[in-house]
Structure 1
Amino acid sequence: MHLRHSFLALALAALAFTATGCATSDAPDPAPNLLGEYLKSTSVKNDRFPSTGGSSEDRVANFAAYYSADQLQSRLLLAFPCSNDGQDRRSGGFFDTSCTPSMAAEKTADDLGGTLNARVLVVRHKDKSLELLTLYLAGNQAIDDTGQTYADLKEFRSKNGLLTSSDLILAPAGA
C-alpha cells in the first residue's frame, strides 16, 4: 500500500511540470494535471494501458509495478512505430502500439512518402472525460484520422476539426 501511495505522489509531482508546460494557452490557471488524472482514471477512451477493472488504486499499483513515474511519462508521450502485434514491452510493461489509421490517414501518409508512426495526446473534454487521441506521423507532418496534415501541434490545436476549444490536450513539449 505504501509503494502505491509513494508512486502516485512521485508520479503526480513529476508529471505536474509536464502538464503545466504543455497545457493550452487558454487553460485555466492553475493548469490541470492531465497526466495525473489519466494515471488514476479507470475509464479512458482509447486507453493504450487498458484497465482490467478495479479501482484507481489498483490502476496506480499496476503502473507502479512496471514503470517509474518518468518511464510512464516517456512511454505515454513518445512517438512510436505502429506495430502489427500491438505490443511494446521494451520497458517491462505493456503499451498497445497497434495502429488502425483511417483510409484517409493511410492515403495521406502514402502521399507524403513517410513511414507511419503514431503519437498519443491525452485529451480532457469539456465533460471531464479523458481520451487518448492518436495522431499519425509521416514525412515530418502530423496526420489526423480525417487525413488532414499539420506542421506541428500548435497548428493541429488551432485547425483540427476533432476537438473543441474547450478540450484540453497534453503532449510533449516541442511536439
Structure 2
Amino acid sequence: MPELTALRREREKVAPGALTEPYTRLGAVRGDQLDIETTLRLAPGSTARLVVRETPDGAERTVVEVSRTHDGGGTLLLRRETSSLDPTVDIEPRYGELPLGEDGRVDLRVLVDHSALEIFANGRPLAARIYPTRPDEAMRVGIGADGDVTLERFDAWQMASAFTDGPRPLWP
C-alpha cells in the first residue's frame, strides 16, 4: 500500500528474541496513529499479545491476541473489553480462525488511526472501532506472551495525517 507507506514518519524497532514476559510496555513506541508490522513464531499452546491505545494506568487498552493450539490451529482475537471506560460503546471481542504454517509463523500488521483499528494476520483482515475515554493518554503500546513465542521482527511507524489541509468534510 504505497499510500500508507508515504504517510510513515518516525520508525521504532524492537530487538528480536524470545518473549519471556507476559507483558512489556514498549516505551519508545506510542501514539494514536500507528502502522505496526511484526512477525511472531508461536509454539503449540502459546499466545502472543500486542497492546495498543493503552493509558498509563492500564485502565484502557486494546489487545490483539494470536494463539496457537496444541494441534497447530490458530486464532486471532481482538479483546476490546477494556478499550473504553464508556459503558455505552461496543466492547464485544472480535475473533476468527487464523491459518498458521507448521512453524507457527504469524505476520501481523496493525493500523491504528484514532478510533479505527485494522488488523491483518497472515492475510486475514479484522477491523473494529475502539473509543478510549482518555484519548490524549491512550498512546502506549506493549507486547507479551504466554508460552514459547519468538519475536522475529517488530517495526512501528508514527503516521502523518492524510489530510494536510484540515479535516475532510463529511458531506460535499
**Same fold at TM > 0.5:** no
Q: Quick check: which one's strand share is greater?
A: 2
Q: Which has the higher contact order (CA 8 A, sep 6+)?
A: 2
TM-score, normalized by length of structure 1?
A: 0.27
TM-score, normalized by length of structure 2?
A: 0.28
